[in-house]
Structure 1
Amino acid sequence: MKHLHDIPSAFKQEFANPRLWWTRAVVIGMAAIAGLVVVGFTWLAESALDLFLHFNAKAWWLVLLWTPALAALIVWLTRRYAVGAAGSGIPQVMATLDPAVNPADRSLFVSLKLSAAKIVLTAGGMLGGLSLGREGPSVQIAAGVMLAARRFLPRHTQISAHSLLVAGGAAGIAAAFNTPLAGVMFAIEELSRTPEQRNSGLIVAGIVLAGLMAVSISGNATHFGVIHPGPIAMALALPGLLVTLVAGVAGGLFSRLLLASARGNPLGRLSGWRSRYPVLFAAVCGLLVAAIGIASHGATFGSGTGATRAMLAGDSSMPAAFVGFKYVATWLTVWSGVPAGIFAPSLAIGAGIGHDIAQLLQYPYAPALIALGMVGFLAAATQAPLTAFIIVMEMVDGHSMVLSLMACAVVASTVSRVLSPPLYGALAQLQLQRLPQAPTSQTTS
């Protein structure tokens, strides 16, 4: 016969154990600090971009000198002092979670030093007007802060480094997008492979708290305002399906292009030149990004958040080739080797796809197609459909489009899987090659 639940013992275990309370305090406290750090990083990155746009408006030609020079400097600093800060930051966190990584080697991918470097270098990229996002870097930054909590936890704690890394990475998404629910989903979909049931509530609480830190400072307003998608009826079906398929194909090819660039596959001679002269290569990429920015009348500079917001608001002044311009500018930025995320640029590209198809079909409710384009391209590029769906839903207050956004994310991600392996998983395998003795597992193909 099973014993009844022992309430006094359970009470003592949960509420009268000082070590357990100290563990909770450390995890929750570091989650709050991680959220605050990401909020500060957000302010710094956006201020850097505002400063760039201010000077660019006064002297448009200056970008042809400034952007390549800053791109070269950032790549030199990254390679010289913080190799682990290169790229998005999400693959580094995923690599750190790999069982092949010894505790002594975690600092190759995630640490307070790399978090600090990531903040400065990514903000520097924004100051140069490069086409990058800050959300992926926020994952690595917050994970570094949370991992530092390990030294303050009591001995023989049940909170593992794996749990702290998952909580930190997800907290970065939650605080960066001001979307706590998306942070939880990101932890489930991308980071957590072996969740620990006993501590899952505490970890989720830490993720949500980090997001709430952003809400408390930045306000509870949606990132892109409240969209007005019009009636969600059969009239949306064919235009919505077209946006979904185009975004899925474009996002899948984008993922394949980024992965091929990381492996050194595209344009063989250029990849060889990149490996021999990385700083000069970064300068050339910066010059091309600057030229694209001038050709697009400044629309492609920075993360693309301004362009996305303008399209959702009904601004029809976007360049006709904005999608192509932003697509290439983001690829060149990532290929240059600067620390750069792709979440915000992906949302901008997807918004452009929805905007263009709405104009082509003369669909009267463009915001609906723009929102579908955002979720479709992001889901296809990252192959994380649930995270993409929740991020966009929370950022545009698109609760009336829940089923449409979810279906778009799933279909676009499925299309992408035909064209490319999961981007972050494959990049994480490349990161593992930096280990002193690289694991024998083959890179995803």
Structure 2
Amino acid sequence: MKLGNPFPQIAHDFATMGVSGLARTIVQALLIGGATGVVIGLFRHLNNIITHWVVRSVTEHGLSDSLVACAVFFGLLLLAVISVLLLRIEPLISGSGIPQVELMVKGRLRMNWFRVLVCKFAGALTALTGGLSVGREGPCIMMGASLGVGVGRLWHDPKAAHEPRFLVGGSAAGLGAAFGAPLAGMFFAFEEMKTPLRVPMIITCATTAFAAMYVMQAIYGFGLVFPFGSRPMLPWQSWWLVPVVGVAMGGLGVLYNIMLIRMTLWADKTKMLPMHLRVVIPFMCAGLFLYFYPTVLAGFGITALQLADIALPLTALLLLLTVKMLFSCASFATGVAGGLLMPILFMGAMAGACVTSALLLFDMVTPEKSVIILILCMAGLFGSSVRAPLTGAFLMLEMTGAYPNMVFIIITAYIAAFVADKMGCEPVYDSLRRRCVIEGKIKRPRYKPRRPQRVASGSPGGVM
């Protein structure tokens, strides 16, 4: 493919924008990034407060008390009912929201930005509070995109609200704020969303991502998501770990994608489980895990930081990884408002603990290398499943601060993505986007304005 000389295109973009256009683009991007930083920061802050309160309450009162058991059961049932109601109010919030946003960028879907913002905020917070194995990043990306559309509409420019620049810029800000990783947000906008590299889009994504990060840190003070501490550079004698981990995570990513898509499609097609019952089941499973296997639940189980130091048998780690993978697929298949990326990263950390444990059995590595193996596995599984290796690599760099190992992390992510591609596995969001088209019956030409068309309840369609 001939790339040509980019400088004439850059000069043409600047000439077309002019000084006033450049200033308007920057101001709009600052508004999108600032608003996204405030909203996503509030979302993360509330999620942390609620999670700590739930963990402390359950720990203090104990699970043997019948009153506590009843409170847990009815609390989870109430959260399930709220999730169902929110899905009925706005079906577009189902799932992570990333495939829906990608269809909006292509002009094949529209949304009521304020309703999506409110329902996605409440729906994702409800799913996370209920202990479901879903992530916050997909909802944050969709909330950022909705805020981008909102800024476009409030700008009173009839064309602004429909420009992909507002959706993509808001998405970059959402991912950057969700993970504290603005560079990864930019790479996501161009690598995963396949946005053309044009000057207005580059300026918008860079400004929104860093503005969201700055505002969020200034107000809420979030730091590194995975502060692993000492992250020494991988010595040259251990470079063989990079291809080994890359190939292993490539295969694991293929397995995860197949399980997730097949379980989701089965949930879509089966008539045995209506939507309200389908949503209730994972909440009840979370309650059972709380009693019998709390290790798999966020807040109660082992964190990624603990996996780097804890000494668990390989069989226990494999069981934890298997249960986490099944619970993550089941949680997402219900259609609740929740993402995939954080569970993918956490499963990558579990896989890294398994790899480290297996290598320690044969004295092939030392315990000091466990941190870098975990980081390599997290980046590799992301690259394999999402097929966005640069995004996954810079996500891990910004979330852990492991910049001395940047080259190894990037190579591992690319090897994993290459292996998954050669195994014939489709990227997870490509599969989910095609599911949106099938389930939502999104066909050309575009929907006509002001004619609402809802899809079947529980499927990830949209409203005009």
Normalising by structure 2, what TM-score? 0.81
Q: Read off the aligned partner of 1:391 and give its amino acid letter.
A: L
Equivalence for 1:311: 307
> Structure 1 residues 125 and 188 mapped into 2: Cα distance closer, same or farther (>3 Å)?
same
Q: Which of 152, 155, 180 matches 1:153?
A: 155
Deviation at 1:306, TM superposition (A): 6.0
Deviates more, 1:71-80 or 1:321-330: 71-80
Deviation at 1:401, TM superposition (A): 0.9
1:416 matched to 2:420 = yes
CA distance in 1, matches of 2:174, 2:149: 13
CA distance in 2, matches of 1:260, 1:124: 25
Unpaired runs of at least 5, structure 2: 1-13, 446-464
CA distance in 1, matches of 2:236, 2:201: 45
CA distance in 2, matches of 1:340, 1:88: 5
Deviation at 1:23, TM superposition (A): 5.1
Deviation at 1:349, TM superposition (A): 0.8
Q: Which of 262, 266, 269 matches 1:264?
A: 266
CA distance in 2, matches of 1:240, 1:20: 43
Equivalence for 1:300: 296
Contact 1:183 1:207 survives alignment (8 Å): yes
> Structure 1 residues 390 and 54 mapped into 2: Cα distance closer, same or farther (>3 Å)?
same
Equivalence for 2:177: 175
Where 1:170 maps in the other structure, the secondary structure is helix
Q: Which of 45, 48, 68 matches 1:46?
A: 48
Contact 2:151 2:161 survives alignment (8 Å): no
1:139 matched to 2:141 = yes
Q: Read off the aligned partner of 2:356 and give its amino acid letter.
A: A
Equivalence for 1:88: 96
CA distance in 2, matches of 1:325, 1:126: 18
Where 2:296 maps in the other structure, the secondary structure is coil
CA distance in 1, matches of 2:195, 2:106: 9
Q: Read off the aligned partner of 2:62 and give its amino acid letter.
A: A
CA distance in 2, matches of 1:71, 1:395: 30
> Structure 1 residues 429 and 71 mapped into 2: Cα distance closer, same or farther (>3 Å)?
farther
Equivalence for 1:400: 404
Match runs of 1:166-245 below 5 Å: 166-219=168-221, 221-245=223-247
1:351 matched to 2:353 = no
Equivalence for 1:368: 372
Where 2:234 maps in the other structure, the secondary structure is coil
**Superposition CA RMSD, Å:** 3.0
Deviation at 1:241, TM superposition (A): 3.3
Q: Which of 277, 280, 284 matches 1:280?
A: 277
Normalising by structure 1, what TM-score? 0.84
Unpaired runs of at least 5, structure 1: 1-9, 441-445
The share of aligned pairs that are identical, in percent, is 20
Match runs of 1:12-23 below 5 Å: 14-15=18-19, 17=20, 21-22=23-24
Q: Read off the aligned partner of 2:350 and give its amino acid letter.
A: G
Match runs of 1:372-387 below 5 Å: 372-387=376-391
State the Cα deviation string for residues 378-418 of structure 1 (Å, max 9, x = none).
Answer: 22221111111000111111111111111110111122222
Contact 1:119 1:141 survives alignment (8 Å): yes
